[in-house]
Amino acid sequence: MTSSALPSETSGDLAREAAEFRMATFRLARRLRAHRAVDSMSDGQFAVLAALSVHGAHTLGDLADRERVSPPSMNRTVNCLEESGYITRTPDDSDRRKVNIDLTDSGRSVVEETVRRRDLWLESALSTLDDAQRETLAHAAAIMQEVATR
């Protein structure tokens, strides 16, 4: 048998690898989510703050679309964040029917501190790896970004 005639991986092998990758990704994400600035804040609430931090002010509908939740569900999340002083609602300058939701300084601080804590934990975890393992993870991160955009 020539090298071009080698059998490819079976679909069972690919399914097993996909499942292992999914589980490892979820476990890492769970560990990262545990490091937050406000322990009582839900993952969904933090996701809204992070989206506002990265993408700027949004309407309620835009936030709901971005986070893939219903507008009533997003309204509950936004109400809670507003009551906690993390976001503000302001009428849109060009269309008074629209209300823009944006971070307060307190909300921005929560995002920055949470990101700092998560980065610190991950840096500590990566420091226990050797150079080859860290290089492998750097390549994997690039591949994961590519897969996530498909």
- pLDDT at residue 5 in the model: 47
Residue 101 reports pLDDT greater than 90 = yes
Per residue in 8-64, pLDDT (tens digit) is 557 789 999 999 999 999 999 999 999 999 989 999 999 999 999 999 999 999 999
Asked if 92 contacts 99 with a C-beta cutoff of 8 angstroms, the reply is yes
Identify the CA nearest to 48 among candidates 34, 58, 36, 37.
58
Q: CA-CA-CA-CA torsion for 107, 113, 119, 122, nearest 10 degrees?
A: -110
Paired tokens of 118: 């998560």
Domain ranges (residues) in the chain: 38-148
Q: Which fold has domain 38-148?
A: Arc Repressor Mutant, subunit A (1.10.10)
Paired tokens of 129: 């790896």
pTM, 2 dp: 0.81
